[in-house]
Amino acid sequence: LFPDGQRVSITAKWTTLEVIPGKSTDMLVYEIDNEYNPVIFLRKGQTFSADFVNNSGEDSIIHWHGFRAPWKSDGHPYYAVKDGETYSYPDFTIIDRSGTYFYHPHPHGRTGYQVYYGLAGMIIIEDEDEDNLKQALDLEYGVIDIPLIIQDKTFDSSGQLVYNPMGHMGFWGDTILVNLTPNPYMDVERKIYRFRILNGSNARPYRLALLRGNQRMRFWVIGVEGGLLDTPKEVNEILVAPGERIDILVDFRDASVNDVIKLYNFPHNLIGMGMIGMRMGMGMERGMGMGNGMNMDMGMADNSEFEVMEFRVTKDSAYDKSIPQRLSEVTPINTDGAQVQRITLGMRRMVFTINGETWEDGYANPQDINNPKVLFEQNNGDVVIIEYVNNTGMYHPMHIHGFQFQVLERSLGPLRATDLGWKDTVIVAPMETVRIAVDMSHPYNEHQIYLLHCHILEHHDEGMMVNYRVN
Ligand code: C2O
Ligand code: CU
Ligand code: CU
């Protein structure tokens, strides 16, 4: 889709889609070559060259979530363009590993709205590790290598989207969509499938398991946001927060023909006691629609269990591949002598803060966008340990632009399979402390201004976002 060196134009615009059968929904889409929200394939080492044409009706800019880009090409909100205008991204080279990435808007204050109305898509970067995996498993994109973009939305009776965030909780919808499809299912054969799970929801995390009857099926985490792990990790559930991408293998030879395997969401523990009053009050009035076979526990939008999608095993197959032993090389960041940046997540006057500040505290509208306010500053090549200290009753999936990182430890338990490898978003549970290592080496000649923010889009829009600077 993105030929090396050739400029590609991406237009954000309104259109009408049939999401709910028989009804039409006004949605925002990214259009590339007459396709809506297409998966963008890139090869490591290629030049990335794009124009963003904004016909969304309001300010916008696209951010390429997860891979390294110079900040003027990264979709920083300072570079948002007005409706009817075009932003030409300065060319840059794709230097990150194969993996599943994410493109979405990033204008100040309107990201949640624009993503919700449809601006969200997947980017797949490929390299030699990916070539090897493809070969080992006979992977074919769209056949047994499947993107699953999971989002929750709420529709009114005419089929239009309703965007009604619940205060601090952000937006929690009553209808689960996979690749913008309600009641999703897929016919599968008894083979190994790869699913690239992208949580494109505004606020809702998913704790996902595969159920065969009441039995959990095993599956393997093979990659996270920054690409493949060193080896597959066998699990029976994963936690996926907004912004995270988890790459898994499922061996449907563990099931029989005619089995229906459910991808199921279980209650999690990511909203603490302090938030309960709020969520009860707010959840109830929304009168949880029971559409889609969702089994909402009255008002407990955050702690309900429901089916996300079904895999119907329809056919046997002569497939004879097995789960690979090795996937890639993940070299641990050497943190000897690393500097520590402690980032406290708090709340002030009903808004979540980062070290007591929000985007409105001097970050928005700087006089000189080359020299805006930053929370901290580092030099090119510094290794930094960021210590997120969550003093709130709600989880925050903390994301940084500019670099991928490695999770070192979490205070409330061991690292999960989804914490391993190269990450760009990490779940910080209520009252938890999480330490990550970031090697802030970049290949660019000038200083870079990157964002650090919560990926609950309503938190981010309300200002749970700051700049940091790498010289
Ligand atoms: Cu996907 Cu700054 O975000
Ligand atoms: Cu990002
Ligand atoms: Cu948050």
Average of per-residue pLDDT across 17-43: 97
Q: Is the pLDDT of residue 294 over 80?
A: no
Torsion from C-alpha of 391, 356, 170, 197, nearest 10 degrees: -70
Closest residue by Cα to residue 420 from 411, 401, 407, 402: 407
User: In the prediction, which pLDDT does 4 show?
Assistant: 83
Average pLDDT of the residues of the chain: 93
| Ligand 2 center to 69 CA (angstroms) | 10
In 136-226 the beta strands, taken as DSSP E runs, fall at 145-153, 175-178, 181-182, 185-189, 192-199, 206-212, 215-217, 219-224
Atom of ligand 1 nearest to the CA of 451: 2
- Which bound ligand lies closest to the C-alpha atom of 65? 2
Residues annotated in a binding site for Cu(2+) = 63, 65, 104, 106, 396, 399, 401, 453-455, 459
| Ligand 3 center to 424 CA (angstroms) | 15
| Ligand 1 center to 104 CA (angstroms) | 7
- Topology alike, domains 135-315 and 339-470: yes
Average of per-residue pLDDT across 138-152: 97
Average of per-residue pLDDT across 432-437: 98
Atom of ligand 1 nearest to the CA of 460: 2
Q: Is the pLDDT of residue 34 over 60?
A: yes
User: In the prediction, which pLDDT does 330 show?
Assistant: 97
- Which bound ligand lies closest to the C-alpha atom of 69? 2
Domain 339-470 architecture: Sandwich (2.60)
Atom of ligand 1 nearest to the CA of 243: 1
Ligand 1 neighbour 63 (Cβ under 6 A): yes
Can you tell me the distance from the alpha carbon of 97 to that of 46, in angstroms, rounded to the nearest whole number? 12
Structure confidence by residue, pLDDT tens digits, 338-376? 999 999 999 998 899 999 999 999 999 999 999 999 999
Backbone angles phi and psi of 281, in degrees to 5: -55, -45
User: In the prediction, which pLDDT does 434 show?
Assistant: 98
Q: How far is CA 28 from the centre of its chain?
A: 18
Q: What is the amino acid identity at position 182?
A: P
Fold of 135-315: Immunoglobulin-like (2.60.40)
Ligand 1 neighbour 229 (Cβ under 6 A): no
Provide the percentage of residues in the chain whose pLDDT is more than 70.
93
Atom of ligand 1 nearest to the CA of 65: 1
Fold of 8-126: Immunoglobulin-like (2.60.40)
User: In the prediction, which pLDDT does 275 show?
Assistant: 60
Q: Is the pLDDT of residue 277 over 80?
A: no
pTM listed for this prediction? 0.94
Q: Is the pLDDT of residue 221 over 50?
A: yes
Q: Around Cβ 55, how many Cβ atoms within 10 Å?
A: 15
Between vectors from CA 423 to CA 417 and to CA 426, what angle results, nearest 5°? Answer: 75
Provide the pLDDT confidence category of residue 109 given band limits of 50, 70 and 90: very high
Ligand 1 neighbour 243 (Cβ under 6 A): yes
Ligand 1 neighbour 453 (Cβ under 6 A): yes
The domain segmentation of the chain, as residue ranges, is 8-126, 135-315, 339-470
Range of lowest pLDDT (9-18, 149-158, 270-279): 270-279
Stronger pLDDT, 38 or 281, i.e. the higher one: 38
User: In the prediction, which pLDDT does 226 show?
Assistant: 97
Q: Residue 405: beta bridge partners?
A: 423, 438
Ligand 1 neighbour 66 (Cβ under 6 A): no
Ligand 1 neighbour 108 (Cβ under 6 A): no
User: In the prediction, which pLDDT does 168 show?
Assistant: 87
Structure confidence by residue, pLDDT tens digits, 304-344? 899 999 999 999 999 999 999 999 999 999 999 999 999 99
